Structure 1
């Protein structure tokens, strides 16, 4: 009877046994990498959620700005004196500046929160990963 050819995995396993190398727990390695991928997915989801929130809020800000521009254009048409028009333009410029500062702060807060959540997920997984590695070395001792 012809002997079945040995697979590469079997040859590698036999070599490790012959050299008396420590066994590698493949299930533990796969579980470790699965957890890493899950953490990356959660981090990406947090970042995507933040980007979606940011885009939605910026759309709202744009709508508010367009509405205010429309209102100002209507009031300028109905204004009579040049002094009244200049006063309304100055008021519009002041309100626009205040809104821009407020909106920039709000946008920065959304981005900071989103980035912070994403980084916290990765930091937590890194700590867990280091703990898993430390525990595996302690088991070998």
Structure 2
């Protein structure tokens, strides 16, 4: 019995189709390199964001410890007997220190978040600019 020729695979059919159309060759290594750089930039951006989140958690822990210490001291001071005016004065002083600490801590938290976000965006922005230059260079080479 005569052997039937094996049918062409899809890849062979598409390759033949591309040759017949005389399409330009695609530099797969360049494309992979381009995407590798994109993924590396994304990884760096994520690391910067994670580092910022870690710093934020550490700062919040520090703020909580300070607040608990202040509250403990204030509670012990309020239990001591004394005249009512002195007690009110201590409460007002505690409220003032608490407010000042809250404002200071909010500023520090905002600074950490801003720094982390800026660093992350700068990494991605830099990669976008590099990518645009790579595209321009590839068009200039074809001319």
Matching residue of 2:29: 27
CA–CA distance in structure 2, aligned partners of residues 2 and 27 of structure 1: 37
Q: Quote how far apart the aligned CAs of 1:13 are.
A: 2.2
**Superposed displacement of residue 11, structure 1:** 2.3
Unaligned runs of 5+ in 2: none
Does residue 138 of structure 1 match 2:140? Answer: yes
Partner of residue 45, structure 1:
47
Note the C-alpha offset of 1:30: 1.0
TM-score (norm 2): 0.92
Q: Does 1:107 align with 2:109?
A: yes
Map Cα deviations across residues 11-52 of structure 1 (whole Å, 9 max, x no partner).
Answer: 222211211111111111111111111111110111011011
Distance 1:2 1:31, change over 3 A: farther
- Output the CA distance in 1 between the equivalents of 2:20 and 2:91: 87
User: 2:127 matched to which residue of 1?
Assistant: 125
What does residue 95 of structure 2 align with? 93
SS in 2 for 1:15: helix
Mapped pair 1:82 → 2:117: no
Q: 1:38 to 1:5 in 2, by over 3 A?
A: farther
Change (3 A) 1:134 1:119: same
What secondary structure is seen at the aligned counterpart in 1 of 2:46?
helix
Which of 58, 61, 64 does residue 63 from structure 2 map onto?
A: 61
Residue in 2 aligned with 1:8? Answer: 10
Deviates more, 1:25-34 or 1:112-121: 25-34
- How far apart are 1:103 and its partner, in Å? 0.4
Q: CA separation in 1, counterparts of 2:90 and 2:68?
A: 17
Matches of 1:131 and 1:115, distance apart in 2: 24
- The count of corresponding residues between Structure 1 and Structure 2 is 141
Listed as ranges, the gaps of 5+ residues in structure 1 are: none
Q: Secondary structure at the match of 1:6?
A: coil
